[in-house]
Amino acid sequence: MKPVVKYSLLSVSIVFVLGFVAFTMWYFTVNREDKVCHELEISISDSEKSKLINQQEIALILEQTGLNPIGKSLQRIKSESIEDILQENEMIKSVECYKSPSGLVKINVEQRSPKFRVVGLGSYYVDADRKVMPVSPDFAAYVPVVSGRVTVTFAVGPLFDFVTFLEENPFWNAQIEQIYVRDDKKIELVPRVGDAIVLLGTLDNFQTKLEKLRKLYLYGFNEFGWNRYKKIDLQYKDQVVCTKVGADPEPLKMVAKEVNDSIIPSKL
């Protein structure tokens, strides 16, 4: 092949490639940006588990702030602005917004994850990141409830650790229905089974205290019934003090797998 022909073909190829690149850039940046958004799709993660915000509320926020993308050209739609305004909502953890060349605007919303609810000095949730979040007026999360004199500092600190322990332990997750913080900051537990209130005391060494209660449940109440006592006190070292219905408190002694009424303190 002659050099002149060779260089001519090379020049034509280069011009073709550059023209194709230029056309592609124009097509996907100018032409496509002139397309109009015809559909808004909003997805909310874990919406079946807890409904703290819904698609209608998100669409209303966009409408009220002038960020509703429907009917606008893709060029005018600012994904970052949509993400920023939705991120301000206290029910939302993260937002991702993107546009497709077909005219679809997609918004992916991740809700915050409530761990437990506080009802007492205030009414709020504590989420999985140890942050306080408000209660939704329209939806409720099915999480443990802590009532009584609960400060925010206590809620996001020791109480968070205690609730996490109960949640991650299958036995206690099934046993404890409610947690109550008294004015003296001692903890009372309301079990799902039986009528007795469990006085845990402070959260110091709570795992040791709960282990005594677990043994009492497994080896004691199964023998002489769950409704015999109205109060179970775990505050004392090496013993559980129970109050019978209509009687004075008395310690319980454990021997092997049997628990008997006794006035003699004994290790569990």
Supply the CATH number for residue 106's domain.
3.10.20.310
pTM to 2 decimal places: 0.71
Do 119 and 191 belong to one domain?
yes
How far is residue 144's CA from residue 82's CA, in Å, rounded to a whole number?
A: 33
How far is residue 60's CA from residue 83's CA, in Å, rounded to a whole number?
A: 14
The total number of structural domains in the chain stands at 2
Do 173 and 242 belong to one domain?
yes
The predicted structure's pLDDT at residue 256 = 33
Domain membership of residue 32 (yes or no) is no
Mean pLDDT of all residues in 117-123: 89
The predicted structure's pLDDT at residue 121 = 82
As a whole number, the mean pLDDT across the chain is 81
68-103 pLDDT tens trace: 999 999 989 999 999 999 999 999 999 999 999 889
How far is residue 59's CA from residue 57's CA, in Å, rounded to a whole number?
A: 5
Do 155 and 249 belong to one domain?
yes
Do 236 and 254 belong to one domain?
yes
Domain that holds residue 193: 114-261
Mean pLDDT of all residues in 41-64: 87
β-pairing, 132-134 vs 145-148, is: unpaired
